[in-house]
């Protein structure tokens, strides 16, 4: 090849490479989505791409199941944007376009995640890739080995159970004998027992004949290993001793010992054929009546005779031992074996009748009619079995008070069931009941009733006769309406009717003792009438079709603590929502709200407010995502700038008692007031006003009438007045939580202010303070201190100053005259917001201050002198 040919070759190769570069200007190199993540932990997803030199990144978008939840556009003023999605909670501080952190993951976090990368000019290419992620909940405890004897003979059959803890999904089980894995043919197919929230436990049975191959120093080690993908592995190991026998006594593996349990092949026709509990096959290795009978030992009988209690729970029973039903009728000859005569307390004539019987967590399918012989039974537990029907004779248990039938396969209750008129506690949840007879109303002594997770489409009218009910659970059924007489349940405190098909709720006014109402996941379109429900504290109405919260609701629910009305169709909130003065949690997530009432910020007790997923134009998204504290500050600041419409009046036209009582607020900002008549405070005290706003007036002193509000006032706003001092009498406002005296001429605060132990937020900005007043350090529950725009010269972090404020989360000292920032301030890790801009110090530098609170604190900590 000549030199000219070689140059031509290089030129062609370079041209080809550039052409390829143009065609592959954006390439998705790697997508990492963890296949399995443990419930409640963090999940990190990453997406890596390659851009050509001629292209620029435009955006990175993340999707879950086709819905966008995170977007990163580097050139935007707010590069990161989140879009609310159930189960997806992005940890913004640790996330960027190429890597996001979900914290913490829930079961709703599982799904298909897709990363989409887009470039700008000249090619405007878009590439994407996806991967699936599942969420698992491993067991809390290790596996349990049961039914294993301590000693065995050669040739004897060994059957041992291994049960894992509850997990989602079910765990995998592997057997080991002497450290060697056991082939699956030597163990029965696993049985899965399903519990609430799709959790399940796994049970496996190892079935083998001991041979000389297992003989190692007279010990056989049996181990069960439980695994859940690569996230969880726990094992349980037990050792059994081998009793060495003479060769002539060693039994062939094919010869059964007289006392051994019958081989499965004897009952099923083929060796080791195993079925699930739900199988219709007649071959059920767990239905071994002889073995089940052996579970009722003489020791258990003796204990039951002495205490009146018998527990056979979680023993793998397929049938109930017959002697259980006759335990109260054992004649003296039958009890001689127990030898009651050795102790006076155990004499047969002193025996207690059986009052408590626990047969839960087995695989029982049939309850014998002989249950009628347990006439003194008070508590019967049959939960977590495979029972398909109940015998009519159950109605003869006239003293039965507590009955658990949850997690079975009942489709109907016998008519005789309704003769159990002494029942106080009844759970029939997680069955397949489709109908409840009107005779259900005969169970008039019931206090607790759980019919959840069935297939009920209606309830009989007789439900109203259960007037002693305190707790009622009807959730996860197919109910379309409630019977009218359900409002007769005058003692009802908690009612759960979630996950049904209810379109309307009856007026609840007669349920005067009800404290909690859960009606999530229905088709409810409007709030019911709650007039008279004075004890109601918590209302859950998420995932319905409610369009409005009415003014009547706010008038009636002034004692409400929790209102969850997320995922509805709310378009507007009433102005009188401020009447809900005891509200602590308000969830309005995923509605159709486009604006908020001006006095929402008057809810002084509110500890949690959620508004994500609305169309709010009046609130910035960063405020919404900033949490309750930031949202409430935004709402309160807005109140000071607006005059609430209900309280617009002239100087001579003070609000009447009705206006004060309706709003629970005395709002008179910007009225050019220099004094406040005492009769105004008298009326405010009668109305039990919680909030007073006298901002933007000409007050020079704290009006003396405030002492009348000492028992009710929680918020006091005196900003933008002519105050030069605060009277010591402020210490009488013991309920005060928020105090704003900003934009005045204060040079100090009275020591009596330190007595306000309930004060959470103090605003002293825009005054003439040269230091943080000493009394502030005594307000030990203070969470927010805003002291910007003063003349403060130092930051005192000593043990009798700022260090006393252990709950302080927000400290604003911006625009003051601070010359030095003590490095010890970096130890105040409880601070979530620290503002120091606009002061005289040189360190920390401006570049550090702009990085945020964590960077400032870290910088200061690094400069603490070492001893």
SS (H, E, C) 20-79: HHHHCCEEEEEEECCCEEECCCCEEEEEEEEECCCCCEEEEEEEECCEEEEEECCCCCCC
Query: pLDDT tens across 348-371, in order?
Result: 556 788 999 999 988 899 999 999
Q: What's residue 850's pLDDT?
A: 86
The string of DSSP letters for 762-800 reads EE--SS--SS--GGGGG-TT--EEE--SS-------STT
Tokens representing residue 363 in the block: 């695989």
d(CA 310, CA 359): 9
Q: What's residue 288's pLDDT?
A: 59
The 99-102 sheet, strands edge to edge: 26-32, 43-51, 99-102
Q: What's residue 82's pLDDT?
A: 83
d(CA 390, CA 369): 9
pLDDT at 338 over 50: no
Query: pLDDT tens across 49-61, in order?
Result: 888 766 778 788 8
* Cβ burial, residue 323 (10 Å; 0-12/13-18/19+): middle
pLDDT at 256 over 50: no
Q: Identify any residues that bridge with 518 across adjacent strands, giving them in sequence order.
A: 496, 540
Give the number of other CB atoms < 10 A from CB of residue 170: 21
Instruction: Please choose, from the candidates 115, 98, 102, 121, the residue with its C-alpha nearest in 3D space to the C-alpha of residue 37.
Output: 102
d(CA 402, CA 381): 8
pLDDT averaged over the chain? 82
Give the number of other CB atoms < 10 A from CB of residue 398: 12
Q: Identify any residues that bridge with 163 across adjacent strands, giving them in sequence order.
A: 144, 203
Query: pLDDT tens across 829-842, in order?
Result: 889 889 999 998 88
pLDDT band at 3 (very low <50, low <70, confident <90, very high): low
Residues above pLDDT 90, as percent of the chain: 36
Q: What's residue 463's pLDDT?
A: 87
Q: What's residue 215's pLDDT?
A: 63
Query: pLDDT tens across 636-689, in order?
Result: 777 655 544 334 444 456 777 777 887 788 888 888 888 888 888 998 999 889
For 170-198, what is the mean pLDDT? Answer: 76
Q: Classify each residue of 649-679 as buried b or exposed e, where b means 16 or more C-beta atoms within 10 Å of its C-beta.
A: eeeeebbeeebbbbbbbbbbbebebeebeee
d(CA 115, CA 46): 9
Instruction: Please choose, from the candidates 344, 338, 328, 336, the residue with its C-alpha nearest in 3D space to the C-alpha of residue 377.
Output: 328
Q: What's residue 271's pLDDT?
A: 27
On whether the CB atoms of residues 740 and 718 are closer than 8 A, the answer is: yes
On whether the CB atoms of residues 641 and 670 are closer than 8 A, the answer is: no
Indicate whether this model's pTM tops 0.85: no
On whether the CB atoms of residues 429 and 408 are closer than 8 A, the answer is: no
Residue ranges with strand state E in 229-384: 232-243, 309-311, 356-358, 379-381
Residue in this structure with the two tokens 């056991």, named with its chain if needed: 182
Q: What's residue 188's pLDDT?
A: 63
Q: What's residue 653's pLDDT?
A: 64
On whether the CB atoms of residues 423 and 403 are closer than 8 A, the answer is: yes
d(CA 192, CA 198): 11
More confident position, 413 or 622: 413
pLDDT band at 1 (very low <50, low <70, confident <90, very high): low
d(CA 259, CA 278): 30
d(CA 137, CA 714): 44
| Dihedral Cα 467, 469, 470, 476, nearest 10 deg | -130
d(CA 318, CA 292): 7
Tokens representing residue 199 in the block: 């959790």
Residue ranges with strand state E in 631-714: 665-667, 691-693
Angstrom distances, CA of residue 853 to CA of 161, 312, 505, 817: 56, 59, 49, 20
The string of DSSP letters for 583-643 reads --EEE--SS------GGGGG-TT--EEE-TTS--SSS-HHHHHT-HHHHHHHHHHHHHHS-
Give residues with Cβ within 8 angstroms of 650, minimum separation 6.
Answer: none
Give the number of other CB atoms < 10 A from CB of residue 633: 19
pLDDT at 723 over 90: yes
Tokens representing residue 74 in the block: 């580097």
In what helix (H) or strand (E) does residue 163 lie, and over which residues does it extend?
strand 157-163
pLDDT band at 552 (very low <50, low <70, confident <90, very high): confident
Tokens representing residue 520 in the block: 């999530």
Q: How many residues does the chain have?
A: 867
d(CA 802, CA 780): 10
d(CA 850, CA 856): 9
More confident position, 155 or 225: 225
Give pairs for 844-848: CB < 8 Å, separation 24+. none
Query: pLDDT tens across 787-826, in order?
Result: 999 999 999 999 999 999 999 999 999 999 999 999 999 9
Angstrom distances, CA of residue 175 to CA of 192, 253, 276: 17, 20, 19
Give the number of other CB atoms < 10 A from CB of residue 612: 17
Q: What's residue 85's pLDDT?
A: 84
d(CA 53, CA 57): 11
d(CA 585, CA 335): 61
On whether the CB atoms of residues 47 and 31 are closer than 8 A, the answer is: yes
Q: What are phi and psi of 433, to 5 degrees?
A: -65, 135
The string of DSSP letters for 478-536 reads --S---GGGGG-TT--EEE--SS--------TT-TT--EEE--SS---S----TT-TT-
For 258-286, what is the mean pLDDT? Answer: 33
Q: What's residue 222's pLDDT?
A: 87
Query: pLDDT tens across 88-98, in order?
Result: 888 877 887 78
pLDDT band at 216 (very low <50, low <70, confident <90, very high): low
Residue ranges with strand state E in 290-408: 309-311, 356-358, 379-381, 402-404
d(CA 77, CA 720): 33
Tokens representing residue 831 in the block: 């601070």
More confident position, 774 or 642: 774
pLDDT at 314 over 80: yes
183: which DSSP letter?
P
Sign of the CA dihedral running 82, 83, 84, 87: negative
Q: What's residue 369's pLDDT?
A: 93
Instruction: Please choose, from the candidates 581, 557, 607, the residue with its C-alpha nearest in 3D space to the C-alpha of residue 687.
Output: 581
* Cβ burial, residue 371 (10 Å; 0-12/13-18/19+): buried
Q: What are phi and psi of 336, to 5 degrees?
A: -60, -35
Tokens representing residue 142 in the block: 């290790």
Q: What's residue 774's pLDDT?
A: 94
Q: What's residue 277's pLDDT?
A: 30
Instruction: Please choose, from the candidates 37, 190, 225, the residue with its C-alpha nearest in 3D space to the C-alpha of residue 113.
Output: 37
Using DSSP's 3-state secondary structure scheme, residue 456 falls into: coil
More confident position, 671 or 216: 671
On whether the CB atoms of residues 114 and 30 are closer than 8 A, the answer is: no
Residues above pLDDT 70, as percent of the chain: 85
Q: Classify each residue of 828-862 as buried b or exposed e, where b means 16 or more C-beta atoms within 10 Å of its C-beta.
A: beebbebbbeebeeeebeeeebeeebeebbebbee
d(CA 851, CA 846): 9
Give residues with Cβ within 8 angstroms of 8, minimum separation 6.
Answer: none
């Amino acid at each position: 090849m000549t030199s000219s040919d070689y140059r031509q070759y290089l030129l062609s190769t370079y041209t080809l490479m550039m052409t390829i570069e143009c065609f592959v200007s954006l390439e998705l190199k790697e997508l990492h989505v963890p296949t399995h993540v443990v419930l409640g932990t963090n999940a990190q997803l990453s997406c890596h791409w390659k851009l050509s030199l001629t292209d620029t990144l435009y955006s990175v978008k993340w999707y879950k199941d086709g819905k966008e939840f995170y977007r990163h556009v580097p050139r935007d003023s707010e590069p990161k944007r989140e879009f609310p999605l159930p189960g997806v909670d992005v940890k913004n501080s640790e996330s960027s376009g190429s890597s996001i952190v979900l914290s913490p993951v829930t079961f709703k976090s599982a799904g298909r995640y897709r990363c989409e990368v887009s470039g700008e000019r000249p090619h405007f290419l878009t590439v994407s890739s996806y991967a699936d992620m599942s969420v698992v909940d491993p067991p809390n405890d290790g596996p349990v080995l049961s039914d294993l004897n301590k000693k065995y003979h050669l040739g004897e059959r060994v059957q041992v159970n291994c049960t894992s803890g509850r997990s989602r999904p079910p765990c995998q089980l592997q057997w080991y004998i002497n450290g060697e894995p056991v082939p699956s043919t030597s163990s029965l197919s696993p049985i899965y027992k399903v519990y609430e929230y799709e959790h399940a436990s796994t049970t496996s049975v190892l079935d083998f004949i001991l041979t000389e191959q297992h003989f190692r120093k007279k010990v056989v080690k049996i181990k069960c290993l439980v695994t859940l993908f690569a996230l969880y592995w726990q094992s349980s190991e037990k050792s059994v001793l081998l009793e060495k026998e003479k060769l002539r006594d060693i039994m062939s593996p094919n010869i059964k010992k007289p006392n051994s349990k019958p081989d499965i092949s004897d009952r099923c026709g083929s060796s080791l054929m195993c079925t699930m509990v739900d199988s219709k096959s007649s071959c059920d290795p767990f239905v071994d009546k002889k073995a089940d009978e052996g579970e009722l030992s003489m020791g258990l009988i003796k204990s039951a005779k002495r205490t009146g209690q018998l527990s056979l729970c979680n023993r793998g029973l397929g049938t109930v031992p017959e002697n259980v039903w006759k335990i109260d009728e054992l004649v003296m000859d039958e009890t001689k074996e127990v030898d009651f005569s050795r102790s006076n307390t155990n004499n047969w004539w002193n025996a207690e009748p059986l009052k408590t019987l626990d047969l839960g967590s087995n695989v029982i399918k049939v309850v014998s009619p002989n249950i009628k012989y347990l006439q003194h039974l008070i508590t019967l537990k049959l939960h977590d079995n495979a029972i398909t029907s109940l015998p009519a004779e159950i109605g003869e248990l006239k003293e039965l008070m507590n009955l658990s039938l949850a997690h079975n396969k009942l489709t109907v209750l016998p008519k005789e069931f309704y003769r159990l008129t002494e029942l106080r506690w009844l759970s029939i949840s997680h069955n397949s009941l489709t109908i409840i007879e009107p005779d259900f109303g005969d169970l008039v002594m019931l206090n607790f009733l759980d019919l959840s997770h069935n297939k009920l489409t209606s309830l009989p009218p007789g439900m109203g006769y259960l007037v002693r009910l305190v707790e009622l659970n009807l959730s996860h059924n197919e109910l379309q309406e409630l019977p009218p007489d359900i409002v007769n349940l005058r003692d009802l405190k908690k009612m759960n009717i979630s996950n049904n098909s209810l379109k309307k709720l009856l007026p609840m006014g007669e349920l005067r003792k009800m404290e909690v109402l859960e009606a999530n996941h229905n088709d409810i379109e409007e709030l019911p009438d709650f007039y008279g429900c004075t004890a109601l504290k918590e209302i859950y109405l998420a995932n319905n079709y409610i369009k409005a919260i009415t003014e009547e609701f706010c008038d009636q629910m002034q004692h409400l603590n929790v209102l969850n009305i997320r995922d509805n169709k709310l378009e507007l909130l009433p102005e009188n929502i401020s009447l809900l003065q005891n509200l602590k949690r308000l969830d309005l997530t995923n509605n159709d709200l486009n604006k908020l009432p001006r006095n929402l910020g008057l809810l002084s007790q509110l500890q949690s407010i959620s508004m994500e997923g609305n169309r709010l134009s009046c609130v910035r998204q960063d405020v919404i995502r900033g949490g309750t504290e930031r949202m409430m500050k935004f709402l309160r600041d807005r109140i000071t700038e607006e005059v609430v419409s209900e309280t617009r009046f002239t100087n001579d036209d003070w609000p009447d008692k009705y206006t004060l009582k309706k709003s629970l607020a005395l709002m008179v900002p910007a009225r050019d007031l220099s004094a406040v008549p005492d009769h105004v405070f008298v009326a405010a005290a009668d109305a039990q006003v919680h909030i007073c706003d006298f901002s933007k007036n000409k007050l020079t002193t704290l009006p003396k009438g405030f002492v009348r509000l000492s028992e009710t006032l929680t918020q006091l706003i005196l900003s933008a007045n002519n105050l030069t001092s605060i009277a010591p009498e402020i210490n009488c406002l013991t309920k005060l939580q928020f105090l704003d005296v900003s934009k005045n001429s204060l040079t100090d605060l009275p020591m009596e202010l330190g007595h306000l132990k309930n004060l959470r937020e103090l605003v002293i900005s825009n005054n003439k303070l040269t230091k943080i007043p000493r009394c502030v350090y005594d307000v030990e529950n203070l969470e927010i201190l805003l002291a910007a725009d003063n003349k403060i010269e130092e930051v005192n972090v000593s043990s009798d100053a700022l260090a006393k404020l252990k709950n302080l989360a927000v400290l604003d000292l911006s625009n003051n005259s601070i010359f030095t920032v003590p490095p010890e301030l970096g130890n105040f890790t409880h601070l979530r917001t620290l503002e120091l801009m606009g002061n005289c110090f040189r360190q920390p530098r401006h570049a550090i201050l702009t990085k945020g609170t964590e960077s400032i604190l870290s910088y200061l900590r690094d400069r603490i002198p070492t001893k």
